[in-house]
Amino acid sequence: MPAVCFYFQVHQPYRLRQITPFEVGTHPDYFDSLNEEVCRKVAEKCYLPTNAIFLEHLKKYPDFRISYSISGITLEQFERWTPEVLKSFQDLAATGRVEFLGETYYHSLASLFDGREFRQQVAAHTAVIQKYFGQTPTTFRNTELIYSDGIADMVSEMGFKAMLSEGVDRVLGWRSPNVVYETATTKPMALLLKNYRLSDDIAFRFSARDWSAWPLGADTFAHWLHSLDGSAETINLFMDYETFGEHQWAETGIFEFLKALPEAVYRNPQFSFQTPSVLASDFPRHGSLSIPQAISWADSERDLSAWLGNAMQDDAITKLYSLHDLVMSKNNTALLHEWRLLQTSDHFYYLCTKYWSDGDVHKYFSSFESPHHAYMAFTNVLTDFIMKLEGTSQAAAAPTKPHRGIPAGRVHRKV
């Protein structure tokens, strides 16, 4: 009986404002005042209508299940600016058939640079999921599905039972992403891999008029799923939640597609919808899968090059993580929070200098004119922050509560 596993990433970074060199050492507010407006806009376009649709599905279909990973900084923004969105996610949680996954609180790259920091951010995220949804996550989704054997070792040591990642062709070879694997760790976990072709049909190609399957209807997509009966045990559809209404506007018919999809899938009685924890506990594992080099779901390479690799990215992130001991020595929660906000992966995503389609996507997300402008903004903020740590900034004594940021996703329009 094939199971469809819907997993959605819900994330909004705190977008940096572009402070000038003349402000360095004098201005404590690093975050753009536009962020509240963007948070409210995406709430209206995506979160509220999509949550309403899924709540109806959960009421109508007794075995319908979905899963979410919501970054801690996104939950902060919901609580502050759109409490109705937080309430709508709590209504979903109250059905008992929605799983909330673990991740880093700050949607950071800490798993690649600082194991101590990584574990602390994961613990902070677990605490906030317990606070808002009454769940203790047992499945882990690392930032942007970044995965390696080494990261999985840390995750399994923290007690998680399953982990998500990307079904990368060069890793899988002849193997299928449509079964459950086991991590190559001392304490093995279930490893669930994204079926990127079917996921991207919804997330990327849905509104592409030059696509041979346009316009994509629920019946057609369900037929594609049904065609895997006999060869697939689980079909993992992983994507940004902002796909619905924000990346794919309401005018594309995405909400009508989403409303009709469960009924279309259920026309084959062999199919069900499950959460990652159910797949981890109830489905057989098809051998161990070793992934020594880190992979992700970003860009055509599906590696770390979306955030690391050029001189600007490497310089920015090396300087940032080198501050760990100094930040900790200050025992200042406001400074610690600011430093961790600067770790959010989006800041380094904006520094990417790729060309062609991947480069276009990076530009789509960024509010900066170019990766160079983004680098200068980050460098100025980081310089100011270091001055705060050293006590040489005029603003050092009173760091302000930051403004919030824009949603992350793969096809985001500039504001």
DSSP H helical ranges for 342-410:
346-349, 356-365, 371-390
Biggest CA–CA distance in the chain, Å, is 67
Q: Which residues contact 233 (CB under 8 A, 6 or more apart)?
A: 2, 3, 178, 179, 180, 283, 284
Backbone φ, ψ for residue 103 (5° rounding): -165, -170
Active site residue 144: yes
CB atoms within 10 A of CB 212: 6
Q: Which helix (H) or strand (E) holds 340?
A: helix 333-341
Question: Is residue 242 within 8 Å of residue 46, measured between CB atoms?
Answer: yes
d(C-alpha 91, C-alpha 201), whole Å: 29
d(C-alpha 118, C-alpha 183), whole Å: 19
Q: Which residues contact 109 (CB under 8 A, 6 or more apart)?
A: 143, 146, 307, 308, 317, 343, 345, 348
d(C-alpha 403, C-alpha 206), whole Å: 33
Question: Is residue 408 within 8 Å of residue 46, measured between CB atoms?
Answer: no
**Dihedral sign for Cα atoms in the order 103, 346, 165, 87:** positive
d(C-alpha 345, C-alpha 20), whole Å: 22
Could you give the angle at which helices 196-203 and 218-226 cross, rounded to 10 degrees?
180
* Amino acid making up residue 75: L
Q: Which long-range contacts (CB under 8 A, 24 or more apart) does 79-84 make?
A: 80/404, 81/36, 81/39, 81/40, 81/43, 81/404, 82/39, 82/40, 82/43, 82/47, 84/43, 84/48
Q: Which of 144, 166, 242, 246 is catalytic?
A: 144
Catalytic residue positions, numbered: 144
